[in-house]
């Protein structure tokens, strides 16, 4: 059954002849919304208020009233899923409204996941093997507390997670070695670490060891001299010359599926990893520890960085620095369950392809 209801909202028409619509205080306009089933007025009003708040917080703007209607329907469906998940007993993480709540799962995957591309196999870029039994590693460590991790950044609608994760790693490793935490340029990698010898594809994906090879060969310039623009343009640009401010000598591949070796590596410095992030597990993640490997498998499609490990309420975890901005997750971070196995790919494949750069 289709029920048609009319509500009065406040909108502002921001430009003509094609109006851009955002929920701001302005002229009253009746909008016709068709909802499956018989809507409960109280529930509808509750959802609409959340949608209004969502648009204001995340500065969402829709080109037409039809688009706003469609986005509200998607928002409501996602909100139902979030409420349902959070009502379940014994959950280890919560979901919440974020900048992705007006997207379908397919749209989220297309726009924000898939920037990690396997390309050439690991080892083909000259990284050395790293293996350790973690003897002497502390029970927990958090590199954020040591002042060697920059604030979380936002890759925008560009499949450049490979450039963001490797740049974050270069920044932290450089800071640990020299005491200087720099802001390095992701855009340089997006524009320049491509073509023969590197094979990255700008906003269409890339590989972390390949990015490390570029940084080792060419250095990396400061973000201030080569700022990030692909998040809004959604494409790479022409490679520009810039002055490198860092120098690295090598990179290391941590033994795959060995979470003991990964612990030893993270005890040394942050480590880049690949995960599967195209699930609702990630789209609506708010806080807590992801523990269910059946809901987040090992189809690796997103590059991120492990910056800490520890334990909470009896659950061991990795802390992952993402590149979707600080409004997602735990101020831009997600925690994923950690094991003490030498033969475990981990939840979301976190231990499958770890690597790091070295001064």
Hey, which residues are catalytic here? Answer: 161, 302, 322
> Token pair for residue 240?
């520009």
- Diameter of the chain by CA atoms? 67
Distance CA 314, CA 301 (A): 29
β-pair type (250-254, 333-337): unpaired
- Residue identified by tokens 């939840």 is 347
Distance CA 94, CA 289 (A): 9
Nearest to 221 by CA among 185, 251, 256: 185
Distance CA 55, CA 236 (A): 28
Asked if 109 and 302 count as a contact pair (C-beta separation under 8 A), the reply is no
Contacts of 319 (CB under 8 A, 6+ apart): 142, 306, 307, 308, 309, 310, 333, 334, 335
Handedness of CA 309, 231, 96, 151 (dihedral sign): positive
Contacts of 127 (CB under 8 A, 6+ apart): 209, 212, 213, 250, 251, 252, 253, 355
């Amino acid at each position: 059954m289709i029920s048609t209801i009319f509500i009065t909202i406040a909108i502002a028409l921001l430009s003509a002849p094609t109006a851009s619509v955002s929920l701001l205080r302005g002229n009253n306009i009746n909008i016709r919304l068709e909802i499956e089933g018989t809507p409960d007025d109280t529930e509808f009003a509750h959802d609409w208020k959340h949608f209004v708040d969502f648009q204001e917080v995340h500065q969402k703007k829709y080109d037409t009233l039809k688009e706003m209607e469609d986005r509200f329907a998607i928002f409501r469906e996602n909100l139902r899923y979030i409420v349902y998940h959070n009502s379940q007993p014994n959950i280890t993480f919560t979901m919440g409204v974020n900048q992705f709540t007006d997207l379908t799962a397919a749209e989220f995957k297309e726009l924000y996941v898939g920037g990690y591309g396997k390309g050439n196999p690991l080892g083909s870029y000259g990284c050395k093997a790293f293996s350790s039994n973690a003897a002497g590693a502390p029970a927990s460590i958090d590199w954020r507390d040591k002042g060697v991790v920059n604030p979380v950044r936002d890759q925008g609608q560009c499949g450049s997670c490979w450039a963001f994760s490797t740049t974050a790693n270069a920044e932290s490793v450089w800071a640990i070695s020299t005491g200087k935490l720099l802001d390095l340029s992701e855009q340089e990698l997006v524009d320049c670490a491509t073509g023969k010898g590197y094979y990255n594809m700008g906003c269409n994906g890339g590989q972390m060891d390949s990015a490390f090879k570029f940084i080792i060969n060419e250095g990396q310039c400061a973000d201030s001299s080569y700022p990030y623009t692909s998040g809004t343009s959604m494409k790479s640009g022409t490679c520009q010359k810039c002055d490198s401010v860092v120098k690295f000598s090598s990179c290391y591949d941590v033994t795959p599926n060995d979470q003991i070796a990964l612990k030893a590596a993270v005890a040394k410095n942050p480590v880049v990893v690949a995960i599967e992030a195209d699930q609702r597990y990630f789209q609506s993640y708010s806080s807590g520890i992801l523990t269910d490997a059946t809901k987040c498998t090992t189809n690796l499609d997103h590059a991120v960085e492990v910056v800490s490990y520890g334990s909470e309420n009896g659950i061991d975890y990795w802390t992952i620095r993402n590149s979707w901005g600080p409004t997602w997750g735990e101020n831009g971070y997600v925690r994923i369950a950690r094991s003490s196995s030498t033969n475990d790919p981990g939840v979301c494949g976190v231990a499958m392809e770890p690597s790091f750069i070295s001064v």
